[in-house]
Structures are given as C-alpha cells and as structure tokens.
Amino acid sequence: KNQVEQSPQSLIILEGKNCTLQCNYTVSPFSNLRWYKQDTGRGPVSLTIMTFSENTKSNGRYTATLDADTKQSSLHITASQLSDSASYICVVIVSDRGSTLGRLYFGRGTQLTVWP
Amino acid sequence: DTEVTQTPKHLVMGMTNKKSLKCEQHMGHRAMYWYKQKAKKPPELMFVYSYEKLSINESVPSRFSPECPNSSLLNLHLHALQPEDSALYLCASSREAGARGYGYTFGSGTRLTVV
C-alpha cells in the first residue's frame, strides 16, 4: 500500500472554477510535505512546502493546508487557468536520517485538466 | 542560480549505443539524485550521491552507471539499454541528503527513448 494517497486520480474543471485536491499519508516520522506541479514530460516544480507546525500556506492562486494530526493535506486552486492543466503531486519527506536518507515519498498525483 | 540543468532534453538511442545524461547545479548542494519516471507514475529513486560519494543504489541494473565528477555535476552513463528503459530521467539536488529535503530542486528531465 502506497504511503501517500491522493484523490481524485483525475479531475476536469472549467476555466475560472476552483478545485481542491486531497492527500492522505501514513509516512512517519513526518518532516515536511510538499505539493509539486508537473507538466507532461517536464520535471516537478515546487508549489508549497509545509512543516509540522504550519496549517496553511499560499503561493498565488495555490493554497495548501495541512492537518498533521489526521495526516491530511489539501491543495486548493482558485480561478483556474488553462495553464493549470498538469499533474499535481503530493510528496512527504521524513525526518529520519537512517535508512530513509535522501528519500521522498511520492503520491501518484492528480491529473488536472482545465477546459476553456 | 536556483536551477538544476539537465542535458540533453531528448535522447533517442539504440540498444547497442553508449550515451550519457548530464546534470548540473550551482546552488552549493551536496546531495544529488537520479530518478526514473514512467508515464503516469511517480518518480522512482535510482541513485543518491552525498558529498560526491554514492550513498544509495536502489538495485539499479548495471547498464545504468552514475558518476559524480565534482559537487556540481552528476552524470548517468547508459549502455546496452532495453526498450523498457524508455522514460523521463530526472535529476534533483538538495542541500544535504537527509537534511529534510532542504532546497530540494528537480531538473526538467531528459526524455529517453530506446529503440
């Protein structure tokens, strides 16, 4: 079972609408959680980074929330644009320096399509 | 400079060819990584270099050979690849391996096709 689960797997919305993507994780010990945007055939680009003590973080039209107690995060996109069409990946980084050295735990991503 | 630069962006190679992928960063990061990503799947870690030393090899076949000539450069040498090795190869760097991902940055990737 994947330790980082994202939903929905895919989403289609109309331009200008808002949407929320979900991420649930079981990875521990938790250090920080990141949301990345990945265009097809390109590398992931960081949108937000949230540590244990942060509940909300915004980056332009992107707002991420984190509930470390329930191990849930969400990414809210407001006023969607055609260029928002991409895969959105939730990534959890652990704080253990042992066998998890250098490892990121990836969700499978939510494929967002914005239609005009 | 806050980027990880990968070259080439696209590569088509035959199964008998030898080629190399290159990755460069000038952020002073001491950890560098190679990932393989198949379509619609998350990236899979291949190798981790920490202070120019190989610290993690995720049981990657020997036809993939990493090299870290210095703290800014990371190469991936390819030889006798199979068609199923076709994928997006991503390089990443971070301040230090295990430092909770501080400064973790991905390159734009090399799209590799093996024919």
Supply the DSSP string of A30-96, one letter for each residue.
EEEEEEEEE-TTS--EEEEEEETT-SEEEETTEEEEEETTTTEEEEEE-S--GGG-EEEEEEEEE--
CB-CB neighbors (< 8 A) of A43 in chain B: 4, 6, 90, 106-109
DSSP B85: G
Q: Identify the pLDDT of residue A19.
A: 98
pLDDT in tens, A29-76: 777 899 999 999 999 999 999 988 889 999 999 999 999 899 999 999
Residue B100 has pLDDT above 80, yes or no: no
What confidence tier does B62 reach under pLDDT thresholds 50, 70, 90? Answer: very high
Residue A88 has pLDDT above 90, yes or no: yes
CB contact under 8 A, A107 and B42: yes
CB contact under 8 A, B101 and A34: yes
Q: Identify the pLDDT of residue B103.
A: 79
Q: Identify the pLDDT of residue A115.
A: 97
How close, in Å, is residue A42 to chain B by CA atoms?
5
Nearest residue in chain A measured CA to CA from B107: A43
What confidence tier does B56 reach under pLDDT thresholds 50, 70, 90? Answer: confident
Q: Identify the pLDDT of residue A38.
A: 96
CB-CB neighbors (< 8 A) of B101 in chain A: 31-32, 34, 93, 104
What confidence tier does B101 reach under pLDDT thresholds 50, 70, 90? Answer: confident
R_g of chain B, CA atoms, integer Å:
13
CB contact under 8 A, A104 and B45: yes
CB-CB neighbors (< 8 A) of A25 in chain B: none
Q: Identify the pLDDT of residue A1.
A: 60
How close, in Å, is residue A30 to chain B by CA atoms?
9
How many other β-carbons are positioned within 10 Å of the β-carbon of residue A81?
12
Average pLDDT over every residue of B17-22: 96
Q: Pick A104's closest partner by Cβ from B6, B101, B105.
A: B101
Average pLDDT over every residue of A79-99: 87
How close, in Å, is residue B58 to chain A by CA atoms?
11
Task: Compute the distance between CA of residue B37 and CA of residue B86 in angstroms, rounded to an integer.
Answer: 9
In A4-13, which positions are buried (b, 16+ CB within 10 angstroms) versus exposed (e)? Answer: bebeeeebeb
What confidence tier does A5 reach under pLDDT thresholds 50, 70, 90? Answer: very high
User: How many A×B Cβ pairs under 8 Å?
Assistant: 60
How close, in Å, is residue A54 to chain B by CA atoms?
16
Instruction: Give me chain A's average pLDDT, please.
Output: 91
Lowest-confidence pick of A5-19, A51-65, A96-110, B101-115: A96-110
